[in-house]
Structure 1
Amino acid sequence: MPEPTPPTGRWPGGARCAVVVSVDFDAELPLLAASPEMARRAKTLSVGRYGATRGVDRLLREFADLNVRTTWCVPGRQAEIRPDLVRRIAEAGHEIANHGHGHEDFDHLDLPAQRAVVERASAALAEVTGVPPKGFRVPTGEWDPGLPGVLAGLGFTWTSSLHGDDLPYFHPAAAGGRLVEIPVHHELADHPYFFFNLDPAFPAGQSRIASYQQVLGNWTTEFDAYRRFGLAYVLRLQPEVTGTPGRIRLVRELLEHVRGHDDVWLATAGEVADWWTGTQPDNRPDHPAEVFARHAGSAGGTR
């Protein structure tokens, strides 16, 4: 069967597809956000802190060796407690995006509170890196329907939080701002395959340390399909999950596979958003985001 040809000009330089490597640098913050009593559980916290202790450096070494610029989604609190590490990530040429402040659950925050979290995190990250972040990834939970408009008003150009497409699109709620969504998918994240803790059990009632080769097979199969159809492949890593001595090899082998194709655009999320904004028309009226926006508006905009 002949290869399908993506629309001309979708990606720069005649590339067939875009690849974004993103890293969520959370460490222990999700555990502390889930329950204050976690502050007394050193063993549990050490599962997350491993990312800051070892995982970040392993990822940075691989990215430098392969000459890959990436996007790091960083809670503002990391810039407060680990400023040197966050600064080193930025100085290595990687993009820093806003990932909340303390990895808050947005389900429990109204729109003013969500805005306050975003602003606090941006201030903390800019204090360390010298550059206000232009991208946002929701830490956990659902954002208020009004948040895309708030983000656009605050100068953000992209988010990478939702799952409803495999190409970028514009947020209808961000009127005039052309805020780009760069979708993510669970099968392209390391956390669902590998994250595991015994006490408290996570995930509850089951083990989850997948076969390394099967995970690599999943990631490369998805990449081959994204390239075939001309889509935007977004890998989502966490230093405490993939930054182990064995799993870091999966990252390298995947990126070597990607690098083996000369028609792939490896870019940061910000670069993808800038390209999409500058070259692509508004969403079609039948795009799911537009349909949902019309439905939400008729329902009163509740979440």
Structure 2
Amino acid sequence: MKQHAVCLTFDFDAMSVMIARDLKSPTPISRGEFGAVAVGRILTLLEKYRLKASWFVPGTIVKTYPDHVRRIVDAGHEVGNHGWTHVPPASLSPQQEEEGLLRANEAIAEIAGRNPRGYRSPSFDLSPVTVGLLLKHGFVYESSMMGHDHHPYFARHNDIVSDHEPIVFGETTNLIEMPVSWSLDDYPHFEFMRTKDFVLPGLQNAGLVLENWVEDFDYMKRTEEWGVLTYTFHPFVSGRGHRMILLERLICSLLERGAHFLTMEEAALEFRARSATSVTGT
């Protein structure tokens, strides 16, 4: 059966992304704080179109804004694990990564009533042990890798990557990868960021970005019988006025094209069911 699905995902990072970059003075903290303002705007928009989304929230932000996370849960949205802080796991020791993963699980479960089923790495930057930790602790899916644009797949671990030799791929696991792309993420298009190490110019024209985002869905629909396209938004980025208009225009454009909106957990479970059917041939 033909189905072209969309996952709207929101990384409610607030000020954690600034703190992870050691930007702790009042102005960068206030930039992140705007994310809490934007949560209500986004929830209102999703309710208008009766859409459910997936929200990934660092544990420190769950604890900083428990009422906001409770509103997300009460509206029927999924809340996924986004680490304890916004420090990428590739920069942590395995012990630090596992401790943060479990601490974030506990913070989410206190509000949502269950452990999260999904994980997204801060900055889309997994460590060599992340997949194994997610399997160990019962996650259904993760959403940080980019090995396809609109097909979920089963994640590998224990790849051997050498500077001078061919890559040796590791074993395929039961963890479902819900792929992402920087091109479908609002942050690099829109957010201006200046640090001592780099400048991210951002501030792109919203209409042109919308054209790209819609045409990615058009391509999936033209070339695939079934697929899932994932968009990544950050409330402190897309919560600004003209970008809220962009988000509504995107939703309307996708609805007009017959998009089927799913949470990431729903899409992952549907992929698993389709994979099982394919294997059994029934």
Normalised to the residue count of structure 1, the TM-score between the two structures is 0.81
Give how far 1:197 is off.
4.3
Please state whether the residue corresponding to 2:242 is helix, strand or coil: coil
- Residue 155, structure 1, aligned to residue 151, structure 2: no
- Residue 3 of structure 2 is matched in structure 1 by 16
How far is the alpha carbon of 1:15 from its aligned partner? 3.5
Q: Deviations over 1:72-105 (max 9, x none)?
A: 0111111111101001001101100000011122
1:251 matched to 2:223: no
- In 2: Cα distance, 1:210 partner to 1:119 partner: 37
2: distance between equivalents of 1:22 and 1:124? 20
Query: How far off is 1:135 after superposition?
Result: 0.2
Displacement of 1:16 in angstroms is: 3.0
Contact 2:184–2:230 under 8 Å retained in 1: yes
Aligned residue runs from structure 1 range 262-277, under 5 A: 262=258, 264-277=259-272
The structure-2 alpha-carbon separation of the partners of 1:98 and 1:235, relative to structure 1 and needing over 3 Å to count, comes to same
Displacement, 1:142? Answer: 3.4
**Distance in 1 (alpha carbons) for counterparts of 2:212 and 2:97:** 34
Contact 1:196-1:203 at 8 Å conserved across structures: no
Q: Tell me the equivalent position of 1:65.
A: 48
Distance, in Å, in 1 between the alignment partners of 2:124 and 2:230 is 20
Aligned residues: 264
Letter in 2 for 1:221: E
* Compared CA separation, residues 260 and 155, structure 1 to 2 (3 A): same
SS in structure 2 of the partner of residue 103 of structure 1:
coil
Task: Identify the match of residue 128 of structure 1 among 104, 108, 111.
Answer: 111
Q: Given the alignment of the two structures, is residue 33 of structure 1 paired with residue 20 of structure 2, yes or no?
A: yes
Deviations 1:105-131 (A, max 9, x none): 222212222111111110111112212
Q: CA deviation at 1:149?
A: 2.1
The alignment partner of 2:122 has SS state of: coil
CA contact (8 A) 1:107 1:141 kept: no
Q: Secondary structure at the match of 2:260?
A: strand
- Name the CA distance, whole Å, in 2 between partners of 1:260 and 1:127: 38
Letter in 2 for 1:47: R
Deviation at 1:177, TM superposition (A): 6.2
Would you say 1:78 and 2:61 are equivalent positions? yes
8 A contact 2:117–2:138 mirrored in 1: yes
The CA distance in 2 between the partners of 1:104 and 1:278, in whole Å, is 34
2:157 equivalent among 150, 173, 184: 173
- Residue type matched to 1:207 in 2? P
Equivalent in 186, 210, 215 of residue 216 of structure 1: 210
- Which residue of the other structure, out of 265, 273, 278, is the alignment partner of 1:278? 273
Cα distance change, pair 268–150 in 1 and its aligned pair in 2 (3 A)? same
How far, CA to CA, are the matches of 1:173 and 1:107 in structure 2?
A: 14
Query: Which residue of the partner structure matches residue 232 of structure 1?
Result: 228
| Structure 2 alignment gaps of length 5 or more | 159-170
Q: Tell me which protein shows more strand as a share of its residues.
A: 2
Inter-partner Cα distance in structure 1 for 2:83 and 2:252: 32
For 2:20 and 2:109, locate their aligned partners in 1 and report how far apart those are by CA, in whole Å: 22
Corresponding residue for residue 81 of structure 2: 98
Deviation at 1:201, TM superposition (A): 7.5
- Cα pair distance change 1:26/1:180, threshold 3 Å: same
Contact 1:73/1:96 (<8 A) preserved: yes
Question: Pick from 129, 145, 161: which aligns with 2:128?
Answer: 145
Residue identity matched to 2:26: A
The 8 Å contact of residues 137 and 159 in structure 1, kept in 2 or not, is answered as yes
List structure 1 segments (4+ residues) > 4 angstroms apart after TM superposition. 174-177, 200-203, 281-284
2:126–2:144 CA contact under 8 A, matched in 1: no
**Corresponding residue for 2:191?**
195
Q: CA deviation at 1:158?
A: 0.3
Residue by residue over 1:31-75, the C-alpha shift from the partner in whole angstroms, topping out at 9 and shown as x without a partner, is: 11221xx33x111211111111x2111111110001110000111
2:115, 2:70 → 1: CA distance? 13
Residues 253, 270 of structure 1: alpha-carbon distance in 2 compared, 3 angstrom cutoff: same
**C-alpha separation between the residues in 1 aligned to 2:61 and 2:278?**
35
Residue identity (%): 30
Partner of 1:247: helix, strand, or coil? Answer: helix
Give the conservation status (yes or no) of the 8 Å contact 1:168–1:276.
yes
Residue deviations 1:117-157, cap 9 Å, x none?
11111011111221210100001363232321221221100
Matched, 1:43 2:27: yes
- Counterpart amino acid of 1:257? S
**RMSD of aligned alpha carbons:** 2.3
